């Protein structure tokens, strides 16, 4: 049985950093130690500002440490859509920013003592479906007009034939765990301060500055950067303009064969692949099986499906690791990076559409430029104060309708929830207890762990995630542990613990 952790975080042995205890004063407080927050913090500290970074768990253990580790400007089939929707100039800005982010990551790696296995490789998006060939040709044409390093080919290093592939040259892959540790070490060496296991629970903004509070202390600063995947302190209503979705990863050791480049198929189900240089020889990572967060389809079967596909196409000796993570896609497909609306001092970086290693690096550059008063060529492309184009209205309305459906429909469903006797060991479900609906999990010893089924963000009903054994909110993606603790925002408050009579 494979281990339930990200291949990139397994075996990483870094001392746990201190947690915030007491009141601090600094120039900038960064909330969130993923690629966006950590890169922003490092660049600001290198610019001579004094930066404190607050991380609710460990550096790099959010979506960043559970990604596929591709650093690339090839983001599936995107550029044709971006040109049609946002115009050539904006699409060019997106492509250019993500392309140069590869160089930025490489230059960071050169300064690190951590071995990140950074390698320059081609990136492919391919299809085995003859009906998608025209889509790839159109994407190639769009990418070429944006000066991206794009080529059409049928020659890949995959162990099967493809109808057509679009190749971007000189892209990169990296082991994200060591990379995040390396960024943190560079930040501390430059004089920055990290507090781990320090969840920000409040952000207060006044004319004089900002104060971010945790359970054990506070950090006052001139400005705050909220880089928590989705902003936990949301002055821009981003939660109503982005869709959360989860995806699954497995790492396999191969008996023979292997990969060199990184790949993703066009169409669905998604299969994203790359090599993994494990300690016991050659391996691969396969990522896919994406679905909306909290839709009730999260189960170990997702990993089984990736493993089945892996065995079908590769000479797999064993599957070593399995994990899952989530990310957000904005209604107009572009990330939001910059100053938050209705605020002079709060900055955000979010909506990376599962391509945040490059976009999060871009976020670090844009936000550090903004905060020190430098021009940035991509600021307008990612402008976090934009409301969106006309085309955004439909997906925004869809999100609102879906949230409304969950808010009302799931509440009605609570009335007919089964009673707790139906709950089997190792399973979780919304049950009726004393006339109320409770999110209940029965552990392997039969003990029931009950928490409120009402999400503390805006009141939707949480759903069971059978893969991660968590309670996930279908409305905006908050996630909670079986004891009710917050695993991921936008919620900041835990679900209340409830006694359940068996
Ligand atoms: C399965 C999968 C594979 C992917 N593969 C790739 C890939 O190959 N290439 C690519 O470019 N992108 C990829 N992505 C997307 C990429 O992982 C994300 O876009 C990126 O990691 C987001 O970085 P982040 O810093 O915004 O968020 P995170 O890495 O999630 O960091 C946010 C941090 O904020 C912390 N936090 C949250 N709330 C609080 C709080 N209240 N107080 C303090 N801290 C808090 C969290 O603990 C977390 O550490 C993938 C995504 C998924 C889901
Ligand atoms: S995440 Fe918004 S209501 Fe649950």
Q: What is the model's pLDDT at position 236? A: 84
Residue 360 has pLDDT above 80, yes or no: yes
Listed in sequence order, the residues at least 6 apart from 418 whose beta carbon sits closer than 8 Å to its beta carbon are 429, 431, 432
Q: How far is the CA of 249 from the centre of ligand 1 (A)?
A: 14
Q: What is the model's pLDDT at position 497? A: 94
Q: How far apart are CA 377 and CA 365, in angstroms?
A: 10
* Domain ranges across the chain: 22-66+178-238+332-388, 395-498
List the residue whose alpha carbon is closest to atom 3 of ligand 2. 458
Q: What is the model's pLDDT at position 401? A: 67
Q: How far is the CA of 37 from the centre of ligand 1 (A)?
A: 10
Q: What is the phi-psi region of residue 250: left when phi exceeds 0, alpha when psi lies from -120 to 50, beta otherwise?
A: beta
CB 314 within 8 Å of CB 159: yes
The whole-number average pLDDT for the span 115-138 is 97
Is 454 touching ligand 1 by the criterion CB < 6 Å?
no
Ligand 2: residues with CB < 6 A are: 239, 455, 457-460, 473, 475-478, 490-491
Q: How far apart are CA 248 and CA 355, in angstroms?
A: 15
Q: What is the model's pLDDT at position 408? A: 66
Percent of the chain at pLDDT above 70?
94
Is 379 touching ligand 1 by the criterion CB < 6 Å?
no
Top pLDDT among 399 and 314 is at 314
Q: How far is the CA of 379 from the centre of ligand 1 (A)?
A: 21
Mutate to test the pocket of ligand 2, among 231, 328, 473, 487 (most ligand atoms within 8 A of CB): 473
Q: How far is the CA of 239 from the centre of ligand 2 (A)?
A: 8
The secondary structure of residue 383, as a DSSP letter, is: B
Is 452 touching ligand 1 by the criterion CB < 6 Å?
no
Tell me the pTM. 0.95
Q: How far is the CA of 478 from the centre of ligand 2 (A)?
A: 6
pLDDT in tens, 267-286: 999 999 999 987 667 899 99
Q: How far is the CA of 67 from the centre of ligand 1 (A)?
A: 8
pLDDT in tens, 36-48: 999 999 999 999 9
Q: What is the model's pLDDT at position 411? A: 66
pLDDT in tens, 71-102: 999 999 999 999 999 999 999 999 999 999 99
pLDDT band at 137 (very low <50, low <70, confident <90, very high): very high
Residue 395 has pLDDT above 80, yes or no: no
Q: Could you tell me the strand order of the sheet in which 217-221 lies? A: 22-25, 217-221, 209-214, 202-206
* Ligand 2 atom closest to 455 (CA): 4
How are beta strands 119-127 and 262-265 bridged, if at all? parallel
Residue 389 has pLDDT above 80, yes or no: no
List the residue whose alpha carbon is closest to atom 25 of ligand 1. 34
Q: What is the model's pLDDT at position 423? A: 85
Is 31 touching ligand 1 by the criterion CB < 6 Å?
yes
CATH of the domain spanning 395-498, picked from 2.102.10.10, 2.40.128.120, 3.40.50.970, 3.40.50.300 = 2.102.10.10
Q: Which of 201-205, 240-244, 276-280, 282-286 has the lowest mean pLDDT?
A: 276-280
CB 62 within 8 Å of CB 34: yes
List the residue whose alpha carbon is closest to atom 1 of ligand 2. 476
Is 278 touching ligand 1 by the criterion CB < 6 Å?
no
**Tokens 């999110």 map to which residue?**
439
pLDDT band at 23 (very low <50, low <70, confident <90, very high): very high
- The dihedrals phi and psi of 189, each to the nearest 5 degrees, come to -65, -30
How are beta strands 436-442 and 448-452 bridged, if at all? antiparallel
pLDDT in tens, 401-422: 676 666 666 666 666 677 777 8
pLDDT in tens, 428-479: 999 887 777 799 999 998 899 999 999 999 999 999 999 999 999 999 999 9
Is 228 touching ligand 1 by the criterion CB < 6 Å?
yes
Is 360 touching ligand 1 by the criterion CB < 6 Å?
yes
* Ligand 1 atom closest to 357 (CA): 11
**Tokens 């969950």 map to which residue?**
406
327, 362, 359: which is closest to 66 by C-alpha?
A: 327
Q: How far is the CA of 198 from the centre of ligand 2 (A)?
A: 22
Mutate to test the pocket of ligand 2, among 408, 475, 484, 494 (most ligand atoms within 8 A of CB): 475
CB 186 within 8 Å of CB 104: no
Is 334 touching ligand 1 by the criterion CB < 6 Å?
no
Q: How far is the CA of 388 from the centre of ligand 2 (A)?
A: 22
The whole-number average pLDDT for the span 169-182 is 97
Q: How far is the CA of 199 from the centre of ligand 2 (A)?
A: 18
Q: How far apart are CA 247 and CA 470, in angstroms?
A: 15
Q: How far apart are CA 462 and CA 452, in angstroms?
A: 9
CB 188 within 8 Å of CB 194: yes
* Ligand 2 atom closest to 460 (CA): 3
Residue 159 has pLDDT above 70, yes or no: yes
Q: How far is the CA of 31 from the centre of ligand 2 (A)?
A: 20
Q: Determine the Cα angle at 33 with ends 349 and 240, to 5°.
A: 35
The whole-number average pLDDT for the span 149-171 is 97
Q: How far apart are CA 439 and CA 481, in angstroms?
A: 11
Is the domain spanning 22-66+178-238+332-388 CATH 3.40.190.10? The answer is no
* Ligand 2 atom closest to 459 (CA): 3
Ligand nearest to the CA of 242: 2
Ligand nearest to the CA of 58: 1
Ligand nearest to the CA of 404: 2
């Amino acid at each position: 049985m494979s281990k339930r952790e990200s291949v990139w975080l397994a075996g990483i042995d870094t001392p746990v950093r201190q947690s915030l205890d007491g009141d601090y004063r600094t120039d900038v407080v960064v909330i969130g130690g993923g690629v966006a927050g950590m890169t922003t913090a490092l660049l600001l500290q290198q610019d001579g500002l004094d930066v404190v970074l607050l991380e609710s768990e460990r550096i790099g253990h959010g979506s960043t440490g559970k990604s596929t580790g591709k650093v690339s400007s090839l983001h599936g089939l995107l550029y044709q859509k971006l040109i049609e929707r946002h115009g050539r100039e904006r699409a060019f800005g997106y492509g250019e920013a993500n392309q140069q982010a590869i160089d930025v990551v490489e230059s960071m790696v050169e300064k690190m003592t951590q071995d990140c296995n950074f390698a320059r490789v081609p990136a492919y998006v391919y299809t085995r479906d003859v009906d998608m060939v025209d889509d790839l040709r159109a994407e190639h044409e769009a990418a070429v007009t944006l000066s991206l390093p794009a080529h059409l080919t049928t020659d890949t290093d995959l162990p099967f034939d493809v109808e057509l592939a679009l190749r971007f040259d000189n892209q990169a892959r990296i082991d994200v765990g060591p990379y995040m540790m390396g960024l943190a070490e560079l930040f501390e060496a430059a004089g920055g301060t990290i507090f781990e296991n320090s969840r920000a629970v409040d952000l207060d903004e006044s004319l004089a500055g900002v104060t971010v509070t945790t359970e054990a202390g506070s950090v006052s600063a001139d400005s705050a950067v909220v880089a928590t995947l989705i902003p936990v302190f949301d002055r821009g209503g981003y939660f109503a303009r982005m869709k959360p979705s989860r995806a699954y990863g497995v790492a396999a050791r191969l008996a023979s064969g292997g990969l060199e480049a990184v790949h993703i198929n066009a169409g669905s189900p998604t299969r994203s692949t790359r090599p993994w240089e494990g300690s016991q020889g050659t391996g691969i990572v396969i990522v896919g099986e994406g679905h909306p967060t909290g839709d009730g389809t999260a189960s170990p079967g997702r990993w089984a499906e990736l493993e089945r596909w892996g065995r079908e196409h590769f000479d797999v000796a064993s599957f070593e690791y399995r994990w899952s993570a989530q990310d957000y896609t904005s209604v107009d497909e572009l990330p939001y990076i910059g100053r938050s609306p209705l605020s002079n001092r709060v900055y955000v970086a979010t909506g990376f559409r599962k391509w945040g290693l490059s976009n999060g690096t871009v976020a670090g550059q844009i936000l550090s430029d903004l905060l020190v008063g430098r021009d940035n060529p991509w600021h307008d492309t990612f402008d976090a104060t934009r409301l969106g184009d006309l085309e955004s209205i439909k997906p925004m309305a869809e999100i609102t309708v879906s949230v409304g459906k969950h808010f009302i429909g799931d509440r009605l469903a609570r009335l007919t929830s089964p009673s707790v006797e139906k709950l089997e060991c190792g399973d979780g479900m919304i049950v009726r207890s004393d006339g109320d609906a409770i999110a209940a999990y029965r552990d392997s010893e039969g003990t029931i762990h009950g928490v409120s089924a009402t999400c503390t963000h805006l009141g939707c009903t949480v759903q069971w995630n059978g893969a991660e054994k968590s309670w996930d909110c279908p409305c905006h993606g908050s996630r909670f542990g079986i004891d009710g603790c917050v695993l991921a925002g936008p919620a900041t408050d835990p679900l209340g613990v409830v006694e359940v009579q068996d």
